[in-house]
Amino acid sequence: MVVWNEENAAHLLSRAGFGPAAREVSRAVRSGLASTVARLVAVKPTGARPSVRADDPEGLDKIRAWWIKRMVKASSRRLQEKMVLFWHDHFATSISVVDDPLHMALQNQTFRLYGLGSFHTLVHQVTKDPAMLDFLDGARNKVGKPNENYGRELMELFTLGVADLNGADNYTQADVTQMARCLTGFVISDDAGVFVPARFDAGTKTLFAGKSYQATGNIGVEDAGGNALPPPQNALDVLFTHRDSDGALTMPRFLARKLWEWFAYPEPAKALLDELTGSFIAGGFVVSDLLSAMFLHDEFYSDAAKRSSVKNPCEFAFSAIRALDARTDADGLGDRLEAMGMGLFDPPNVAGWNAGFAWLSSGQFLARLAFAQALAAGRDRTMKLTPSKLVPKLAPSPAGVVDGILDRLGIATHVPAGARQALVDYFGGATDFTDPTVLEQKVRGAVALALALPEFHVH
């Protein structure tokens, strides 16, 4: 049974968003675990997206800045924006290949509209998403000239995985070939994915031949009117009936593992995954049901799930801005995130970003330190930090300022005593916290040093 306290509330809000403010932690404790989780997942879909033209030479900077501001400010929609980032990594699509900021903005909107709803609907929307049709050659996949790129990744990275949890192969090359035929017919028209029957391979296809869930027939995705085909004609439905070598549905275990590793820790036990997927399967594969099961599970608040994951660059930067009550217009933050290894709208390949300790390579960690110094020194719209906000109103002292900063950052109980004392000593015995020199040099300097502490780079 989870003891619902400030520590666990802060853990949930950190993982399910981009860091909490102190008042948000207190509110969550008062509300209780069940109510807090219900509020997180109950956010309605929204069609909000960056406004940009396809040929805008500054398009990438514009869509990055728009999304960054939204992630930094997200409160009631914190989980929605965190899931948009998750899906951007899961269905990784790169503007370096697509070369169209409007199409990338439309995909960003798709994740916001469908990212907490039916996973089946989301996969359908991604299948005909113009950025994805370009990135993985779906728009070049037609009868007589099938292109296997999207069909392969649809199974390998998006729904099943190469192998199941026991190491058994989930599909064969023949399945890739047949899936490619099933997915023929889509083109990009007027910035949308459109099904053109004349380009569709209407012949008989067989998916997963010889398996209990084998499907044979004129399998596709949509009809001539743009409506999803019913099962068993729908190739996506066939994927959702796939079973692993234990006889369990493959997709729920696959997605639950990926989400657990994103929000909690690597390599969850099979038994845990099966506990998490019960309501997900029963409810027709609604993503918010799976997230609710995760956030309500005792294991999510275990020692193994805390202080166990390296913050990705967005989590690191945005949690710092939010915790320190700073402000930003996001100008240039996209470049800083890219220097830290996470160029938004431009993941390195179809598998997305390498996570974990890969975020802390020497060059990328130096970029984190550069961001910390820029935030601490921020005095304009790009980033603005007000040091007087970090000084206790009653009996201010170096120790009080240090403890307040560490508490805001959520690391007060994790920083070693020696590191804390070094921060206190950095003030050199300053006593007048109305002195501009103390505020502008010492308080800002203490912020930069605190953000450099290893404890702030994990959660």
Is the bond preceding residue 232 a cis peptide, omega within 30 degrees?
A: yes
Percent of the chain scoring above 70 in pLDDT? 100
pLDDT category, 167, cuts 50, 70, 90?
Answer: very high
pLDDT for 424 beyond 90: yes
Q: Are 243 and 250 in contact (CB under 8 A)?
A: yes
Structural tokens at position 102: 């409007």
pLDDT for 78 beyond 80: yes
pLDDT category, 1, cuts 50, 70, 90?
Answer: confident
Tell me the C-alpha distance between 130 and 150, whole Å. Answer: 13
Quote the mean pLDDT of the chain.
Answer: 97
Mean pLDDT of 413-438: 96
Instruction: Kindly report, residue by residue over 120-139, the tens digit of the pLDDT.
Output: 999 999 999 999 999 999 99
In this structure, of 75-79, 121-125, 183-187, 251-255, the range with the lowest mean pLDDT score is 75-79
Instruction: Kindly report, residue by residue over 291-343, the tens digit of the pLDDT.
Output: 999 999 999 999 999 988 999 999 999 999 999 999 999 999 999 999 999 99
Structural tokens at position 126: 């991604």
Strand-pair partners of 206? 216
Mean pLDDT of 29-42: 97
Q: What is the CA radius of gyration of the chain?
A: 24
pLDDT at 329: 95
Instruction: Kindly report, residue by residue over 219-240, the tens digit of the pLDDT.
Output: 999 999 999 999 999 999 999 9
pLDDT category, 23, cuts 50, 70, 90?
Answer: confident
Structural tokens at position 377: 């020194």
Tell me the C-alpha distance between 201 and 191, whole Å. Answer: 23
Token pair 């003891």 in the structure block, residue:
3
pLDDT for 412 beyond 90: yes
Tell me the C-alpha distance between 381 and 383, whole Å. Answer: 5
Could you give the 3-state DSSP secondary structure of residue 205?
strand
pLDDT at 7: 95
Mean pLDDT of 90-99: 98
pLDDT at 308: 87
Question: How much is the pTM?
Answer: 0.97
pLDDT for 22 beyond 80: no
